Amino acid sequence: MNGEQQTLGLVGLVGLDEGMDEPAMDPELGPDVALLRGFALAEAAAILRAVDAVITASPLRKLLTPGGRRMSVAMTNCGRLGWTSDRRGYRYVQRDPAGERPWPAMPVVLRDLAVRAALRAGFSGFTPDACLINRYDPGARMSLHQDRDERDLGAPVVSLSLGLPATFLLGGAERSDATVRLPLRHGDVLVWGGRSRLRFHGVLPLKAGHHPIVGDHRLNLTFRSAG
């Protein structure tokens, strides 16, 4: 094959890929951020079964912040490491402090989805060892923060939304930077890493509603390479 044919072949492949899917990166979101609309829809039922099993083994709980306030979002984890918070600070731990047992293993269906989403967003070789599961009931919110407790800040955060829609705030490197509002719906996956890894982000208070599959709340799963 000569050089010209090779070039044409490559262009054809890129064109085909773009035709099948919306581009993963949206320049309006900034560098190294991808919003994959509906990425998890096909597996939502299996994902929800896996999440239910995790929650049964390590129940959701509302943690205390180091400042002594009770979070409005209920949390649990699966994977080798789990994120927790109490008066002593934010950190990853190997055992669920509620029962002093290891966190439930990360179900393969969850891990696979996270790895594929990271790849689709341009991050190859993602090996998540922590999955934080957040449940938002109406009114629950998450104030602007950075995800910076992970040891490997070279790996992205992969965030899956299920159930009721929410408004995600994506800010900048400083807390005071302007934020963009992203509506996140059932099945959407948001990936941020690289130059955007330490951007501030948060979630506006959840509006009451009913989702036909998940019910009256929103679930959010964030996959991280933490340890």
Of 209, 64, 208, 73, the closest CA to residue 141 belongs to 73
The partner in contact with residue 111, picked from Fe ion, ligand SIN, none with C-beta cut-offs of 5 to 8 angstroms by kind, is none
Site string for ligand SIN, 174-203 (x = CB under 6 A): ---------------------------x-x
- Binding-site size for ligand SIN (CB under 6 A) equals 9
Q: Which stretch binds Fe ion (CB under 5 A): 85-93, 118-126, 139-147, 171-179?
A: 139-147
| Interface of this chain with ligand SIN, residues 23 to 62, rule: CB under 6 A | none
C-beta nearest to ligand SIN: residue: 220
Binds ligand SIN (CB under 6 A): choice among 159, 169, 187, 206: 159
Q: Please tell me the distance from the alpha carbon of residue 154 to that of residue 5, in angstroms, as a whole number.
A: 37
What's the closest the beta carbon of residue 134 comes to ligand SIN, in angstroms?
5
Alpha carbon separation from 208 to 41, 58, 139 (Å, rounded): 22, 26, 7
Q: Which stretch binds Fe ion (CB under 5 A): 34-42, 55-63, 147-155, 165-173?
A: 147-155
Site string for ligand SIN, 114-153 (x = CB under 6 A): ------------------x-x-------x-----------
Q: 132, 51 in Cβ contact below 8 A?
A: no
Q: Give the torsion through C-alpha atoms of 66, 70, 76, 77, to 10 deg.
A: -20
Binds ligand SIN (CB under 6 A): choice among 58, 84, 222, 225: 222
Q: Residue 215 is encoded by which pair of tokens?
A: 């019910």
Exposure string for 130-165, b = 16+ CB within 10 A, e = fewer: bbbbbbbeeebbbebeebebbeebebbbbbbbbbbb
DSSP-derived secondary structure for 56-110:
HHS--B-PBPTTSPBPSSEEEEESSBEEEEETTEEEEESEETTTTEEPPPPPHHH
Q: Does 147 bind Fe ion (CB under 5 A)?
A: yes
Residue ranges that bind Fe ion, judged by CB under 5 A: 147
Residue ranges that bind ligand SIN, judged by CB under 6 A: 132, 134, 142, 159, 168, 201, 203, 220, 222
